[in-house]
Structure 1
Amino acid sequence: MENLSIRSLIEGFRKKQLSPVEITRLYLDRIHHLQDLNAYITVTENVALQQAEIAEKKYLANEALGVLEGIPLSYKDNLDTKGIRTTSGSKIDENYIPNKDAGVVYTLQREGAINLGKVNMHEFAFGITSNNPFYGSVKNPWNNDYTPGGSSGGSGVAVAASLSVASIGTDTAGSIRIPAASCGVVGLKPTHGLVDASGVKHISWTLDHIGPLTRNMDDLAIMMDAMTGKNYTKYLKEDIRGLRIGVPKNYFNEGIDQNTALLYKKALEDLESLGAILIEIDIPYTIEDLALSFAIGLSEAGYVHEESILSALDSFGLDVKMSLENSHSIPAIDYIKALKRKTQLTVEFEQIFEKVDVIATPTTPITPQKIGEEMVTINDIQDSVFNTMIRLPAVFNLTGHPALSIPCGLAENGLPVGLQFAAAKHKEKVLIHVGYAYEQAFLRSFYEKRNRLADLAIESK
């Protein structure tokens, strides 16, 4: 499966060496054999095969024009799909069937993408474990006893275990990057508003982003080409000599477990060995600012879910119910103050990006925890898994800057660790450039381990 990149599949289709129908069946078979990972809520086998047949006819007639013609994808289940149930991982929406596609789904299907199905997630995207009380816990393919992160956990697992070529997730406080880091794949939260957010069951329209999870940077660039109509693949370059990388002196290097800290330090040394210039920077963000994400996110979630809170509160899972119960008690003045501080932080980070091209941080302070674990202790300080995991990625939801998570190795427990890059708004090209250079120089053996893991899982069935 490691050879089934988007580029190699498209080339194989064009040369008539590969069949979109056969490739789609291959992925459907893998989904069937690895059901125990619980990556999917709904598998759209008939839809996928019909779309594959259309793609195959286009290739045979030399009429395939879409950027993703014949490429099997999966979609997080809070993205509307016309005629296909969209549960948002909830009991409340278990029978909801949209009458039109979400904007990003429409765009990708117009580019020829095949819909393998809707992937599992934390209920209404309200958490980072993907422990779903209604559709079952999503399991990390590196170790099934552990979570894959969330809320786009099904997307992370689908990509890591080759249950789809790529997947589309959403990110309110790290929900693309956390599963990307936890599952050893690549995940991008683009600049806020860059990708069409229509037809998405939001937590927060202010903080929510839509973006891709892929197995490598080449696939990520092609997905971004398809999602935006721009050309990102031209930034897949290995030379980063002179690139200015900001290394935070505070916040992002605090409260990190030892394994993550060591791999982060090694990644910085590796980047410097490629010719990047490391520049220490002060971060204008404190732990108190993390509360702003809660004030904004919960206030807007209370509005989004107002009807269900009033009429069906007991139909939410316990953790989501507890959060939404408090949403209407947040004073309006706190919401307004949070929005004002958000504007200030955005300006201050833009000023940092005048001095550096990217900021490099760990994606999360810890590796994923065992399924069911709710608390974690780092350096004798205990906190919830939720607060800990969002602490680093949530910064760039508040500011709206694009942020990328890419693997940077395995911890002693055998689970992946992620490296996060952030850049100025609409500078996704810089993230693709630095991510690709780092990947090409240092991630080949990591990818080989991940690919063997996915194939061994099938062989054991």
Structure 2
Amino acid sequence: MERWTIQRLQEGYRSKEFSPVEVTKQYLEQIYASNPRYNAFITITEELALNQAKVLERKMIAGYDLGKMFGIPISFKDIISTKGILTTNGSYIDRDNIPGENAPVVQQMAASDGITLGKNNLHEFAFGLTSNNPHYGAVRNPWNTNKTPGGSSGGSAAAVVANTSVVSFGTDTGASIRVPASSCGIVGLKPTRGLISTKDVTGISWTLDHVGPLTANMTDLAIVMDSLTNKTYLEQSQSDVKGLKVGIPSSYFNEKVDSESYEIFEQSIKALENLGAIIVKVDLPELKENQDVGFIIALSETSFLHQQNIKNKIDQYGSDVKAIMASATGFTATDYLNSLNVIKGYTKQFEEVFKDIDVMATLTMPNTPQDIGVDEIMVNGINEDLFNYMTRNTFIFNMIGFPALSIPCGIAENGLPVGLQLAALPHREDLLMKTGFAFEKDQLEDFYQIRDSKCVIN
């Protein structure tokens, strides 16, 4: 099936080339065809989607004002509450959970005339980077079904890259939008903390949790963000990047990285420089302990948010999440408060760094996606925990609340995508959009053709 962008769909609706019902049926057929292979959906909301499409069709015929997401097929990570629709959190514990309210992001998409196709598979309770779910089955990467699509929003990323959803919404506590985006060769944005509400989203950490969109390209991302924020990201993104200062960290982010991935990253930075960006080497604060700080905050807040399940249903978690939950109560109030104080320091230090740059660029992931079931990786002759390793470039931006975007930047020799992470000061998503647009236009036409030929079942 052809990959339709938001703009292409809306043009087709305006010209009466096709209808919302016709498009919805095609996407549902695509989901049913691909889900046995990729396992991106836990729940397919066929009846709801067709009913929404019929309402929109009548609205279109009657000449009503149409929302910014009119007729666009959307899916939601199954940790985001949907009224009257099963929301499992990827867990056996919530296998029968049907919320009474929609999360704000679901309400906003409905108000903008989007169509809900279903709920995406994920790592249980969003506590992992592989989406190897013991209750609903592993999500498989459409680039290579033996590989993880990343997590915890793995089903959301797989749904978009497989062309079974134009837009999906995920959550990100330490990497969970950006790692799946990088692993699946799509675009994923962790917005500024609080820009998109986390209400009625099952949480890990109120300090670190974010909600954000995953899309197949930058234009779709900008339109979604326009709809969510009533800003004009699409319009702002059309200018070039001449004179834009792009900071390249001189430490930490270039350590423990796969050499081939880093070479692709360096080529991407050269491409931005050729487009007129000014490349600036920047020194960062000491970050070696930042993940420990983030875990203390995340697990301390988890122990509060999940206290009833930890107390009464600990044996119903999958083995990996059970181990996390069992350890979540092991920190003191002093540990927690000290960690919050440390991230205040990180925030001030990064604000100082950004006085000299507009955007910071790093690899999204220090390596390409690993095999499903692999929980460790060999780095410089030492086995490292896969979760810790794959979040080392992303976690800090959750702690300080800065927006961060992952956009594809190349393909490794193993045939898997590599992602470029761009970060900016809070509420400067416009700079991320501008940079991503320029890079995409200059560099990604061939990448997208290869991606779609490999990942979309026709």
Same fold (TM over 0.5): yes
SS state of the match for residue 289, structure 2?
helix
Q: Which 10-residue stretch deviates more, 39-48 or 2-11?
A: 2-11
Percent identical pairs in the alignment equals: 49
Q: Which residue of 1 aligns with 2:412?
A: 411
**Contact preservation (8 Å) 1:16, 1:60:** no
1:85 shift after superposition: 0.7
Shift of 1:62: 2.0
Structure 1, 64-73 or 422-431: larger mean CA deviation:
64-73
Deviation at 1:260, TM superposition (A): 0.9
1:5 equivalent to 2:5? Answer yes
Summarize deviations over 1:198-238 as a string: whole Å, max 9, x none. 11000001000000000000000001011122221112225
The aligned runs of 1:218-237 (5 Å cut-off) are 218-237=219-238
Alignment check: 8 A CA contact 1:76 1:152 kept: yes
Distance across 2 between alignment mates of 1:143 and 1:100: 37
2:33 corresponds to 1:33: yes
Give, in whole Å, the separation in 1 of the partners of 2:226 and 2:141: 29
Aligned to 2:387: 386
Match for 1:409: what amino acid?
Answer: G
Distance 2:233 2:240 in 1: 16
Extract unaligned runs of 5+ from structure 2.
Answer: none
Deviations 1:417-452 (A, max 9, x none): 000000000000000000000000000000011111
Q: Hey, what does 2:304 align to over in structure 1?
A: 303
Q: Which residue of the partner structure matches residue 372 of structure 2?
A: 371
Q: Work out whether residues 55 and 64 of structure 1, in 8 Å CA contact, stay in contact via their aligned partners in 2.
A: no
1:3 CA drift (Å): 4.7
Is the Cα contact below 8 Å between 2:190 and 2:404 reproduced in 1?
yes
Partner of 1:140: 141
Assess, with a 3 A threshold, how the Cα gap between structure 1 residues 280 and 27 changes in structure 2: closer, same or farther.
same
Question: How far 1:381 moved relative to its partner?
Answer: 2.8
Question: C-alpha offsets along residues 59-82 of structure 1, whole Å, 9 cap, x if unaligned?
Answer: 122214211011110000000000
Map of 1:23 onto structure 2:
23
Cα distance per residue 1:348-385 (max 9 Å; x no partner) = 11111111000000001011100011110122232011
Structure 1 segments of 4+ aligned residues over 4 angstroms from their partners: none
Letter in 1 for 2:382: I
Superposition pairs for residues 37-436 of structure 1, below 5 Å?
A: 37-436=38-437
Contact 1:238 1:440 in 2 (8 A): no
Mapped to 1, the partners of 2:378 and 2:394 lie a distance apart of 19
How far did 1:8 drift?
A: 1.0
TM-score, scaled relative to structure 2: 0.98
- In structure 2, C-alpha distance between the alignment counterparts of 1:292 and 1:111, rounded to whole Å: 39
Q: Kindly provide the amino acid, as one letter, of the partner of residue 23 in structure 1.
A: V
Letter matched to residue 180 of structure 1: A
Q: Quick one: distance in 2 between partners of 1:184 and 1:338?
A: 34
Quick one: which amino acid aligns to residue 316 of structure 1?
A: Y
Size of the alignment, in residue pairs?
Answer: 457
SS at match of 2:329: helix
Q: Give, in angstroms, the shift of residue 289 of structure 1.
A: 1.4
Any conservation in 1 of the 2:3–2:163 contact (CA below 8 Å)?
A: no
Distance 2:11 2:61 in 1: 13
| Cross-structure match for 1:448 | 449
Q: Offset of 1:305 from its aligned partner?
A: 0.5
Give 1:376's aligned amino acid: I
User: Quick check: 151-160 or 375-384, which moved more?
Assistant: 375-384
1:254 to partner: Cα distance: 0.5
Whether contact under 8 Å (1:74, 1:115) holds in the other structure is yes
Instruction: Give the TM-score of the pair, scaled to structure 1.
Output: 0.98
Deviations 1:367-406 (A, max 9, x none): 1100011110122232011111111011100110000000
Alignment deviations for residues 255-283 of structure 1 (CA, whole Å, 9 cap, x no partner): 00012111111101111110100000011
* 323-332 or 75-84, which deviates more: 323-332
One-letter amino acid of the counterpart of residue 444, structure 2? L
Q: For residues 160 and 401 of structure 2, what CA distance do their matches in structure 1 show?
A: 25
Q: Which range is displaced more, 281-290 or 301-310?
A: 281-290
Counterpart residue type for residue 209 of structure 2:
D
CA RMSD of aligned residues (A): 0.9
Task: For residue 2 of structure 1, report the CA deviation from its aligned partner.
Answer: 4.9
Q: Secondary structure at the match of 1:329?
A: coil
Structure 1 residues 287-341: Cα deviation after superposition (integer angstroms, max 9, x where no partner): 2111011000001111111001000100001111101101111111111011001
Shift of residue 131 of structure 1? 0.1
SS in 2 for 1:324: helix
